[in-house]
Amino acid sequence: MNYRILLFALSLGIMVLQACNNEQPTRVKHAVVSSKISVPSFNADSAYYYIKTQVAFGPRVPGSKAHAECAAYYVRFFNRLGIKVYQQKFKARSFDHKILNGDNIIASINPKEEGRILLAAHWDSRPFADQDPDPKKHHTPIDGANDGASGVGVLMEMARQMAKDNPKIGVDILLLDLEDYGQQADEKPIPNSEDTWGLGAQYWAKNPHIPGYDARFGILLDMVGAKDANFYEEYYSMHYASGVLDKVWNAAAKIGYGNYFKFQDGGGVLDDHVFINKFAYIPTIDIIQHDPNSKSGFFPYWHTVEDNMSKIDTNTLKIVGQTLMEVIYTER
């Protein structure tokens, strides 16, 4: 996925709220009766190509040539589709006191529609492979094929489809920068270290690209491309936007993907959606792979040099992308 500090409380030594009990509210867990609405087919091969293209620039670390070239690639891509693009350049201070140049990129589909949905993913990659089994690689930048590029690739393919067949709702695709520049895991934790993550989300949530911007709800994608990925109910998503989570999980069940979107607790993740909920007041969920058998709780190659294209699976991209297409095109 992207960056993130993605911390499960003890694994990264950062305090993260966990669900206080195992009781779950009674919610609809069955497929909804299908309507006659036509939903375009999500092309997973196309999404895979967009991920591969991002990774080919090299690690998308702020200040690098790869970072600048990839940002320009996104802008060209949306412009060629005829989609209105906003570029939000900003500065932020990193945990190690560097001033970083960030670039949030927003693509607006049906910009005149008042009713809007926000879709987001972070596009930068982690400058530190600090979860790699080899300590010598802990300051090596990662490709971030799954952590970052996978979510963006899914959203790019959705944008391509929506440019051809406009949905009935307005959609804003928010590509967030400086998400994964949080504190290096080998260093002694600093006060409020959770705030060193999601710098682009923090900036956008406090300074949206359009003053007074609002959306019915938001969906964040993070680490959505690995083989056999499962998506559980993330704690902050339940806390801030349980109705949105139900909407998406039920859409997955409706089209046959209920085995991948599980109505089970996935723990708390400090990700971009937390800042969007707290500062922009848009009810936003996080679709993020949870692996209860891995040490981190994320996909096994999270924040390692092995987060590369060999870990990306078109079947998972199809599952996530088609589920989101179902949500977007059935929203009225």
- What single letter denotes the amino acid at residue 68? A
Report the C-alpha gap between 68 and 49 in whole angstroms: 20
Per-residue pLDDT tens digits for 223-257: 999 999 999 999 999 999 999 999 999 999 999 99
Query: For residue 212, is pLDDT > 80?
Result: yes
Q: Which of 6-15, 183-192, 233-242, 319-328 has the lowest average pLDDT?
A: 6-15
pLDDT at 161 over 60: yes
**Average pLDDT of span 16-43:** 55
Name residue 165's amino acid.
D
DSSP 8-state class, residue 250: H
Report the distance separating Cα 249 and Cα 168, nearest Å.
21
Least confident among 16-25, 41-50, 211-220: 16-25
Q: What are the chain's domains?
A: 9-17+24-330 (3.40.630.10)
14 has pLDDT over 90: no
**What does the alpha-carbon distance between residue 23 and residue 36 come to, in Å, rounded to a whole number?**
36
For 245, other C-beta atoms within 10 Å of its C-beta total 24
Share of the chain above pLDDT 90, in %: 87
Strand partners, 110: none
Are 305 and 137 spatial neighbours (Cβ–Cβ below 8 Å)?
yes
C-alpha closest to that of 230 among 300, 277, 284, 179: 300
Residue 17 above 70 pLDDT?
no
Mean pLDDT of the chain: 91
Stretch 247-271: mean pLDDT, rounded? Answer: 97
Beta strands, E only, 95-165: 99-109, 116-122
Q: pLDDT category, 151, cuts 50, 70, 90?
A: very high
Q: Say yes or no to pLDDT of 25 above 90.
A: no
Sequence length of the chain is: 332
Q: Which residues share a beta bridge with 218?
A: 118, 284
pLDDT, tens digit, for every residue of 108-144?
999 999 999 999 999 999 999 999 999 999 999 999 9
Residue type, 25: P
Residue matched to tokens 């049906």: 110
**Residues of 135-171 as b/e, b for ≥16 C-beta within 10 angstroms?**
eebbebbbbbbbbbbbbbbbbbbbbbbbeeeebebbb
Tokens of residue 160, six digits? 């391509």
pLDDT at 39 over 70: yes
Q: What is the mean pLDDT of residues 54-59?
A: 98
First to last CA, the chain: 30
Q: Say whether pLDDT at 26 is over 70.
A: no
